[in-house]
Amino acid sequence: MLGSYNIHTDLALEDKERFESDNVEISGVSVEEFYDEEHEIRVTEVKILTENGAKSMRKPIGTYITMEMANLVLPDEEYHHVVAEELSKYVGNVLQMDKENEEYTVLVVGLGNRDVTPDALGPHTVECLNVTRHIVKEYGKYAMGEEAVNMVSAIAPGVMAQTGMESYEIIKGIVETTKPDAVLVVDALAARNTKRLNRTIQIADTGIHPGSGVGNHRNEISKETLGIPVIAIGVPTVVDAATIVRDTMENLLSTLETDDKYEMMQELIAPHLYGMFVTPKDIDESIDRIGATIAEGLNILFTKGA
């Protein structure tokens, strides 16, 4: 029944929860959970294994790792360093990266509009990133003081309204010219649950569809379209306004013993609410902290000996 509301979420974990709330098992989808009690980090790995699972989940076949951290919103540098180290580990695993024995050339893409704060996560992450490709190309890898060096380049391509081009077109041109081994895309996402805003990081090996969270669909950025692995790192920064209204109404109507309460709810929610998105009032600070944390995690991953 809940699916009839068509409220979007970019998180595979929340799509899985949609079925769990209706006590429905999904064929072709596996789930594993881990909990770091010391740092209060819950990690859920959702693997979509079959076309049936992909159709049910409305997401491509692949691996989706969700890190949930209530304390991510706190200005605690030590805690954010722990998160960065954990993020580094999971991104490395998804990338299947042998950090000690191989050299990688990686393009990090910060998607989004830097002038719209909830959408500025990608550009801010790129600003905090340690890029090395130009140094290695100019002076050689020994200029970095290491025998083996990963070359990291980065771009924040902006949005179509600013450039007249889709992000995919810009990235495709860069990939064809610089020939990286992999692309890492950082973007803001939309969530179904307000408790996950700025407290969750999703890592996926399926690439990304820019703008899909707010109904602004663009060409996908994935292995299928670029020809190399594409790892997506996203943080939910907005939630559909209709979600908040629906949750409030659901609590209100929870005592009603009627099969029609979901249909009643759908009729009462104003249609224009489905086009509105809400973000926390401290979004500026959150984007700064989380963007820096993601960049630190990538710096750890791609710096030898870190």
pLDDT tens for each residue of 253-270:
665 655 555 565 566 665
CA distance 195 to 156: 28
Tell me, yes or no, whether 261 lies in a domain: yes
Tell me, yes or no, whether 129 lies in a domain: no
Tell me, yes or no, whether 177 lies in a domain: no
* Tokens describing residue 92: 């490395």
Tell me, yes or no, whether 221 lies in a domain: yes
Q: What is the pLDDT of residue 215?
A: 52
Q: Label residues 250-280 b or e (16+ Cβ within 10 Å = b).
A: eeeeeeeeeeebbeebeeebeeebbeebbbb
CA distance 271 to 165: 31
CA distance 220 to 166: 10
Domain membership of residue 193 as a residue range: 2-103+183-302
Compute the average pLDDT of residues 153-181: 94
CA distance 239 to 255: 26
72: domain CATH number? Answer: 3.40.50.1450
Tell me, yes or no, whether 7 lies in a domain: yes
Tell me, yes or no, whether 127 lies in a domain: no
CA distance 200 to 57: 19
Residues in the chain: 306
Is a pLDDT exceeding 70 seen at residue 237?
yes
Domains held by the chain: number? 1
Tell me, yes or no, whether 205 lies in a domain: yes
> Mean pLDDT score of the chain, rounded to an integer?
85
Tell me, yes or no, whether 62 lies in a domain: yes
- Phi-psi sector, 112: left (phi>0), alpha (psi -120 to 50), beta: left
Compute the average pLDDT of residues 56-67: 93
* Tokens describing residue 80: 């954010």
